[in-house]
């Protein structure tokens, strides 16, 4: 596992673009399972920050974030996420993934702000490439991707949910979700914005992005940021039912449709990846941005006392 992580990290950082393998539609992957072979009911693999359980009889993997305290997306987390996605993408038995959190009340707190504070240009480059890679893999996945948002999900956490095919959120107004970058004095990049627009439409996206709005679950439903609210104790049951509904269709038709809907947005980042990294590194390197991020971190810490 450590060797695989190191290899992927090297590939992400050195070659510039990790080959987006199996990005094009896969024809009926479940149908290629040899007939008559007994299926092991469940397989699992776990890294430090993400637990994956694969149910081979349903073809559905559950990916649980388990990086305390708040599942923030640092370089190690992003690398593990990409490796897990790649493993599942290449597993013909896997047709769908449920992405959720093992940390109570938090889905993900978004990008780890400490990765964007006081570091070198090389570090920002490596970090941002990993953020891009995570999004490219998730947004272009051939699998059915279902976010089960069982806690707060600001910024990068919200991006993960928005990149899935369907979002179920726990019906708890204390949990919030949204792209709140503007509140931190930073700007959601164009591919965050495009992903958001594809889910909620231009008007809601523009207003929410300018205001950096974080929506309590009921409002998130109202604005279409999530598709359904479900009592927390019913999330698992609901996720299983939704996944079964999506998997009832032939893979190839769903995959080609998904690719058609998302291709333009994906192609744009692939074509402008290096430019996007340069924009990010020069933006976060500005003293004014560093100051905003430091103040935001201090505010988070003060909130406790």
Ligand X SMILES: CCCCCCCCCC/C=C\CC(=O)SCCNC(=O)CCNC(=O)[C@H](O)C(C)(C)COP(=O)(O)OP(=O)(O)OC[C@H]1O[C@@H](n2cnc3c(N)ncnc32)[C@H](O)[C@@H]1OP(=O)(O)O
Determine the Cα–Cα distance for residues 153 and 184; give it in Å rounded to an integer.
15
The reply to whether 206 belongs to the active site is: no
> Should residue 111 be labelled a site residue for ligand X when binding is judged by CB under 6 A?
yes
Determine the Cα–Cα distance for residues 185 and 296; give it in Å rounded to an integer.
9
Count of residues of this chain found to bind ligand X when the rule CB under 6 A is applied = 28
- Helical (H) or strand (E) element with 264: helix 251-271
> Should residue 72 be labelled a site residue for ligand X when binding is judged by CB under 6 A?
yes
> Should residue 109 be labelled a site residue for ligand X when binding is judged by CB under 6 A?
yes
Check if the beta carbon of residue 132 is closer than 8 Å to that of residue 102: no
Give the binding range for ligand X (CB under 6 A) out of 19-27, 36-44, 65-73, 240-248.
65-73
- Between 144 and 164, CB nearer to ligand X: 164
Here the tokens at position 221 are: 């439903």
Structure-token match 């980042």, residue found? 269
The reply to whether 111 belongs to the active site is: yes
The reply to whether 180 belongs to the active site is: yes
The reply to whether 181 belongs to the active site is: yes
DSSP notation for 145-192: EEEEE-EEEETHHHHHHHTSSEEEEES-TT-EEE--GGGGT----HHH
Which of helix, strand or coil describes residue 293? helix
CB of 157 to ligand X, least distance (A): 7
**Contacting ligand X within 151-180 (CB under 6 A):** 152, 154-156, 180
Looking at the annotation, which residues are catalytic?
Answer: 111, 156, 180-181
By CB under 6 A, name the binding residues for ligand X: 69-70, 72, 106, 109-114, 152, 154-156, 180-181, 184, 186-189, 279-280, 283, 297, 300-301, 304
């Amino acid at each position: 596992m450590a060797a695989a992580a190191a290899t992927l990290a090297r590939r992400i950082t050195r070659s510039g673009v990790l080959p987006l393998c199996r990005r094009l539609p896969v024809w009926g992957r479940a149908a290629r399972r040899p007939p008559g072979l007994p299926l092991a009911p469940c397989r699992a693999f776990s890294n430090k920050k993400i637990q994956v359980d694969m149910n081979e009889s349903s073809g559905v993997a559950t990916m649980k974030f388990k990086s305390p305290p708040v599942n923030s997306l640092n370089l190690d987390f992003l690398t593990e996420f990409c490796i897990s996605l790649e493993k599942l993408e290449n597993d013909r038995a896997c047709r769908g993934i449920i992405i959720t959190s093992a940390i109570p009340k938090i889905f993900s707190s978004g990008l780890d702000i400490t990765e964007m504070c006081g570091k070198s240009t090389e570090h920002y480059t490596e970090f941002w490439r990993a953020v891009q890679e995570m999004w490219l893999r998730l947004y272009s996945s051939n699998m059915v991707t279902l976010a089960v948002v069982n806690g707060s999900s600001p910024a990068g956490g919200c991006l993960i949910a928005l990149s899935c095919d369907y979002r179920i959120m726990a019906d708890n107004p204390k949990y919030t979700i949204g792209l709140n970058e503007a509140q931190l004095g930073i700007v959601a990049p164009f591919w965050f914005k495009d992903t958001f627009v594809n889910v909620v439409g231009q008007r809601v996206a523009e207003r929410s992005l300018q205001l950096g709005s974080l929506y309590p679950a009921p409002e998130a439903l109202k604005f279409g940021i999530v598709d359904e609210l479900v009592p927390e104790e019913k999330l698992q049951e609901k996720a299983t039912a939704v996944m079964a509904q999506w998997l009832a269709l032939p893979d190839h038709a769903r995959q080609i449709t998904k690719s058609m809907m998302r291709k333009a947005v994906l192609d744009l980042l692939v074509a402008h990846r290096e430019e996007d990294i340069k924009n990010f590194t020069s933006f976060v390197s500005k003293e004014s941005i560093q100051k905003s991020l430091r103040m935001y971190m201090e505010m988070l810490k003060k909130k406790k006392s």
